[in-house]
């Protein structure tokens, strides 16, 4: 008999307060009110955690990159992202996916189904 090891992926969804699966997704990850972290375990929703985002300052889009890396995030789902934070996520090993749906739960379901494409530098916002 072999013990199977569960495959877990932690994804971050920029959200509006109070966060959680029912929360509305935020359009700008650097200015979102909070992040909803969802553990996807063998293709199913596992533990859900919420933490508030730090206030956004000019050039401050790198702060969430580092915080999410500290929270062991594997992927983030965004509506848009600038080149600098996209490169930062790539450097720390966090995959960036284009999001869809109005709320966290819809985005997570789409992620599980493999329906969210990875964002490359050509897809980065030019602001």
pLDDT tens for 31-55 read 889 999 999 999 999 999 999 887 7
Q: Has residue 27 got a pLDDT over 60?
A: yes
Q: Contact at 8 Å (CB) between 33 and 50?
A: no
Q: In terms of pTM, does the model score above 0.85?
A: yes
pLDDT at 15: 95
Q: Quick one: what percent of the chain has pLDDT higher than 90?
A: 63
CA–CA dist 124, 45 (Å, integer): 28
Higher per-residue confidence, 98 vs 6:
98
* pLDDT score at 82: 81
Q: How many CB atoms sit inside 10 A of residue 111's CB?
A: 20
The number of beta carbons lying within 10 Å of the beta carbon of residue 44 is: 9
CATH topology of domain 24-121: Nucleotidyltransferase; domain 5 (3.30.420)
Which band of pLDDT confidence, cut at 50, 70 and 90, is reported for residue 3?
low
Predicted local distance difference test score (pLDDT) of residue 63: 80
pLDDT tens for 51-79 read 988 776 555 667 888 889 999 999 999 98
Q: Where are the domains of the chain?
A: 24-121
Beta bridge partners of 25: 15
More confident of the two residues 123 and 62: 62
* Three-state SS annotation for the chain: CCCCCCCEEEEEEEECCCCCCCCEECCCHHHCCEEEEEEEECCEEEEEEEEECCCCCCCCCHHHHHHHHHCCCCEEEECCCEHHHHHHHHHHCCEEEECCCCEHHHHHHHHHCCCCCECCHHHCECC
Sign of torsion over alpha carbons 80, 123, 49, 23: positive
């Amino acid at each position: 008999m072999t013990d199977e090891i569960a495959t877990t992926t932690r994804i971050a969804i920029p959200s509006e307060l109070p966060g959680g699966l029912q929360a509305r997704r935020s359009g700008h990850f650097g200015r979102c009110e909070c992040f909803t972290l969802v553990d996807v375990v063998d293709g199913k929703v596992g533990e859900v955690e919420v933490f508030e985002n730090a206030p956004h300052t000019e050039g401050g889009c790198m702060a969430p990159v580092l915080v999410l890396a500290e929270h062991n995030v594997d992927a983030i789902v965004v509506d848009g992202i600038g080149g600098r934070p996209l490169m930062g996520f790539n450097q720390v090993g966090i995959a960036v996916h284009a999001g869809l749906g109005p709320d966290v739960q819809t985005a997570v379901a789409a992620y599980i189904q493999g329906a969210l494409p990875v964002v490359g530098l050509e897809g980065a916002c030019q602001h």
